[in-house]
Amino acid sequence: MSIEVSGLNKKFGDFVALDNVDVTIPTGQLTALLGPSGGGKSTLLRIIAGLEKGDSGTVNIEGVDATNLPAQKRNVGFVFQHYAVFKHMTVAKNVAFGLEIRKRPKDEIEHRVNELLKLVHLSQFSHRLPSQLSGGQRQRMALARALAVEPKVLLLDEPFGALDAKVRKELRDWLRRLHDDVHVTTVFVTHDQEEALEVADEIVVVNEGRVEQVGTPDQLYDEPANDFVMSFLGEVT
């Protein structure tokens, strides 16, 4: 099983944001969409999520043709850089939100929320408001919230971009560990070569609306598909 994107095109006016993209993202892996700013990573992620529609092409998620499904029917969870947390709700309520709107039984919600807060090491902060958390803790809350509804796919768009280097590194390790615990198919967008190379099982290099290469970090290093991939990876500091 996998996420399969075929023949995907997307224009904004005359500007070609995605140019006939074909890519297969295998189930259960941690995959990075890596590339320079403006290359089309977010557009690709948003179309996979169902937040935006392609002009043509198809998106298949785990064997289901999702091309025309609305976001809420795709069984995906999101985390964005500036995640819209509910400021007036406690950490526990934020995490419970997706379960409450689905009218799950109260005791099930409580159990699940406790389990998730434990997973992201926020149990002792369950009654705090988001404003009483650090930036890193807030993004861990966002991760727990995205996982609450047990999505088949977790999508993250530069989730740690706004945080300072030390916290970013810490969250990077978190994402890796969380993924290894939960095994949910995860796709994250980053322009940071080091982040992708250190965390991802597989990397999809996206540039100027095209997929330049798909491979493991080793494959990208050992056999870059072209000059662009070689020089872009070479920019690791």
Q: Give the footprint of ligand ADP on residues 25-64 (CB under 6 A).
A: 35, 37-43
Q: Which is nearer to ligand ADP, 38 or 136 (CB)?
A: 38
> Applying CB under 5 A, which residues contact Mg ion?
42
Smallest gap, in angstroms, from Cβ of residue 58 to Mg ion?
22
Smallest gap, in angstroms, from Cβ of residue 9 to Mg ion?
18
The item of ligand ADP, Mg ion, none sharing an interface with residue 38, based on CB under 5 to 8 Å by kind, is: ligand ADP
Least Cα distance to 143 among 132, 131, 129, 155 occurs for 155
CA distances from 181 to 66, 122, 158, 177 (A): 27, 16, 21, 6
Q: Which is nearer to Mg ion, 42 or 207 (CB)?
A: 42
Q: Which is nearer to ligand ADP, 52 or 115 (CB)?
A: 52
> Judged by CB under 6 A, does residue 139 bind ligand ADP?
no
Question: Measured on CA atoms in the order 3, 63, 54, 102, is the torsion positive or negative?
Answer: negative
The item of ligand ADP, Mg ion, none sharing an interface with residue 186, based on CB under 5 to 8 Å by kind, is: none
> Judged by CB under 6 A, does residue 190 bind ligand ADP?
no
> Judged by CB under 6 A, does residue 14 bind ligand ADP?
no
> Judged by CB under 6 A, does residue 131 bind ligand ADP?
no
Q: Which is nearer to Mg ion, 5 or 148 (CB)?
A: 5
> Judged by CB under 6 A, does residue 159 bind ligand ADP?
no
The item of Mg ion, ligand ADP, none sharing an interface with residue 40, based on CB under 5 to 8 Å by kind, is: ligand ADP
> Judged by CB under 6 A, does residue 86 bind ligand ADP?
no
Q: Which residues here bind ligand ADP, judged by CB under 6 A?
A: 12, 17, 35, 37-43
